[in-house]
Each structure stands twice: as C-alpha cells, then as structure tokens.
Structure 1
Amino acid sequence: MSAINETLFSKASAEVIDLHRFFVDWFVAARADKADFSRFERAMGDGFGMVAPDGKVLDRDAVVDHVRSSRASCDDGFTISIEDIRPGWQGADTIVVLYVEAQLRGGKRSRRQSSAVFTTSSSAPNGVQWRHLHETWLQVPES
C-alpha cells in the first residue's frame, strides 16, 4: 500500500470509529445533548446510499431522517464496537473499508459485516465522506 493510501485508510478508519462514537452519544438519552448532529450531516456525502442489514436500500435523506428521529432512543447500556477494520479496494481519493460493527442494545447483542466507500473531502470531519454503506447481518439481535 502506498503512503497516500495508508493516509486515506487512516482517515477512513478514524471516520468509522468516530461516527460510531457519535451514534452512541446521539442515541443514548443521557448523552444526546452533547452530540452535534451537523457532524453526522457533514460526513454523509452527496448521493450517499445504504443497503441495510435487512436488504432495504436507503438514500441519504432516509438515513439522515432516521438518525435524526432516533435521538435519545437508547438507554445507558447501548454500546457499539468496531472490530476487524481493514482496507479493501483503493484508488487515489477513494477507498473501500470493511469492518464488523457489534452492538449491545436493550440487552440484545448483534453483529453486522459492513463495507463502506469513502472519498476525500476537506469539509468532512476526518477528511473523508461516506458515499456508500452495505451492511449484512452476522448475528441478528438476540430474542
């Protein structure tokens, strides 16, 4: 991997971790007041799209609206951890990053394999914007 791509992977990895920290702050009722929603909006690039773990295809507006409306919807036990983060395909200003997202919500565990496409952007929080996200269940929330 070239030095430029190492830097791009570092930025994208930091973005994955930081955005999921934002989600915990935004979703946990006791912490929601300290979360800056504009951080999330700046990270989602124009034309962003997502394939949710259930196969539903969502555009940027649907994802932003869902996250906005889910503020303070979880108790203090909600956690997200990012595991096995690694680079996929890379170009000069574009990278695919693969990772596993593990959640504990309402006492139920879940895990999803994710692949995300990022492009460089000087206006984004970590210098990269999310362009596409695809999630697949590895472990559906426990019953």
Structure 2
Amino acid sequence: MSGEPSLFSRASAEVVDLHRFFVDWFVAARAGKADFSRFERVIGDGFAMVAPDGQVLDRAAVVDHVRTSRATCDDGFAISIEDIRPGWQGGDTIVVLYVEAQLRGGKHNRRQSSAVFTTSSSAPNGVEWRHLQETWLQVPER
C-alpha cells in the first residue's frame, strides 16, 4: 500500500481548497492575493455544471462567470463546506457529495452538491473537476 492519499482525500481537499479560493477571489479586500490560474487548472476540459436553478453551464461559462465576479463581495462573504462524503468511485473517478453554506450580504443559503472528479497529475490536489450539480437546500434569503 502506498503512502499516497486516497482519491476521496484528494477530492475532499480540492473541494475545501477551491471554495477557499472563491472566498479570496470574491472578497474585494482579498482578491489581490488569489491566483486565478489555480481555478482554471482544476476545471477539467468538458466540465459542466448544473446550477441550483437548473441552468446548465459549460466550462467556458463557469470560468467566465468566476473571472468577472472578482472582488464583488464584502468582507462578510463566507463559504463553509459541510457533510462531505464519498459517493460512487471507480478507477480514477469519484463522486463527492457535500453541502455548501454561504453567507453573502448578511443572507444565508445552502446547497447540496455532487461533484465528479478524475485524477490529474497537474492539478494541485491531484484531481480535477469534471461535473458539478448543485440543488438548493435553502434558497438565498431576500
């Protein structure tokens, strides 16, 4: 048995690390220290996302949305990852389930997420995002 972290461990670390990047990228006071190339490296070719409202976005749309959303939040913006657990796994592919909780503009929302990862030697945690589905658990407060 090798000392290499499990696929689930690497994918879990990626979920947490990418959401830390989002906080740094979106919070105006911290955006200067965020490395956008890190985000682009972990979003795999052919990536697709089903947003909580049901809209299907391809890789280009997601990358563009994140790029143009830099420094759009105040210091109160926060994301926490809860209840992270493995789903299906086969070979170099894993499905990871987690709840993403956000605080934005003093308002809370939560979404159940399922993400598909494949191994990638060039990605920071050794995995890249291939697919993401988000479903509202708590829609943004008004």
For the aligned pair, the TM-score class normalised by the smaller chain equals over 0.9
Matches within 5 A, 1:35-114: 35-114=34-113
TM-score by length of 1: 0.96
Q: Which runs of 4+ in 1 moved over 4 A?
A: none
Tell me the alpha carbon deviations over residues 81-124 of structure 1, each in whole angstroms, 9 at most, x when there is no partner: 00000000001100000000000000000000000000000001
SS at match of 1:18: helix
1:12 corresponds to: 11
TM-score (norm 2): 0.97
Match of 1:142 in 2: 141
How many pairs align? Answer: 142
Alignment RMSD:
1.6
Q: What is residue 120 of structure 1 aligned with on the other side?
A: 119
- Deviation, 1:3, is 8.2
AA partner of residue 15 (structure 2): V
Instruction: Give the CA deviation at 1:58.
Output: 0.1
Listed as ranges, the gaps of 5+ residues in structure 2 are none
Letter of the 1:74 counterpart: C
Report the identity percentage. Answer: 84
Mapped partners of 1:125, 1:29: distance in 2: 24
The residue type paired with residue 64 of structure 1 is V
- Structure 1 residues not aligned, in runs of 5+: none
